[in-house]
Amino acid sequence: MAQTTENMQQVLDEADCLHSQEEVEKAITNMAAAITDKLSDKNPIVYCVMTGGLIFSGKLLPLLNFPLELSYIHATRYRMQTTGGILDWKVEPTESLEGRTVLILDDILDEGTTLKAITEYCQQRGAKEVYSGVLVDKMHDRKSYPGQKCDFTGIEVIDRYLFGYGMDYKGYWRNAPGIYAVKGL
């Protein structure tokens, strides 16, 4: 069934707002302080993971008041029954990572398989250290490995279908001004 603006408006109207725009902005400000404290003297290259990480990265980056390089990557993960999935690069890093500090920014840590694969990719290409930052960490026990966490996390949320601030529902509502959970999901 094709989505209509009426369908999508109803999804937002019925959704549970888990975190308001003000709460999200405060979390991003707190993350910026933690990232600045840890990385301000490391000349990092910062990768925004497209498309989900776009809004979060756009809000966070102006709060990082230190020299850094910015780029983006776009990778998706396909789950194959025999291999557990392979990373499919839409846009790979083009910069040399040899000896560099890397910060990967994404919207959400859900199961974490894509983030884990991107981190390993950067390490294999010689990054000295790789950090990760997500706006949202979804709390459940289905992570790609036990205890998986990011170095920088804005908000921890319950295990529901989320949208807003970069996360989408059927391709819509990445632009929602808060973090929402779809009704019934």
Phi, psi of 57 (to 5 degrees): -60, -40
Instruction: Quote the pLDDT of residue 141.
Output: 85
In this model, does residue 79 exceed pLDDT 50? no
Give the type of residue at 49: V
Give the type of residue at 59: K
State how far the alpha carbon of 76 is from the alpha carbons of 23, 39, 118, in Å.
Answer: 29, 27, 10
Phi, psi of 88 (to 5 degrees): -110, 110
Percentage above 90 pLDDT, the chain: 73
Mean pLDDT of 67-79: 83
In terms of DSSP bridges, do strands 69-78 and 45-49 run parallel, antiparallel, or are they unpaired? parallel
DSSP letter, residue 31: H
Angle of helix 21-39 versus helix 53-60 axis, rounded to 10: 70
Q: How far is Cα 104 from Cα 177, in angstroms, rounded to an integer?
A: 23
The set of residues, in sequence order, having a beta carbon less than 8 Å from that of 154 and lying 6+ positions away, is: 24, 27, 28, 30, 31, 56, 134, 135, 136
pLDDT category at 77 given cuts 50, 70, 90 is low
CB burial readout 87-119, b (16+ within 10 A) else e = beeeeebeeebeebbbbbbbbbbbbbbbbbbbb
Mean pLDDT of 127-153: 92
* Domains of the chain listed by start with CATH number: 21-181 (3.40.50.2020)
In this model, does residue 83 exceed pLDDT 90? no
Range from 50-54, 72-76, 82-86 that averages highest in pLDDT? 50-54
Mean pLDDT of 73-82: 60
107 versus 111: which is more confidently predicted? Answer: 107
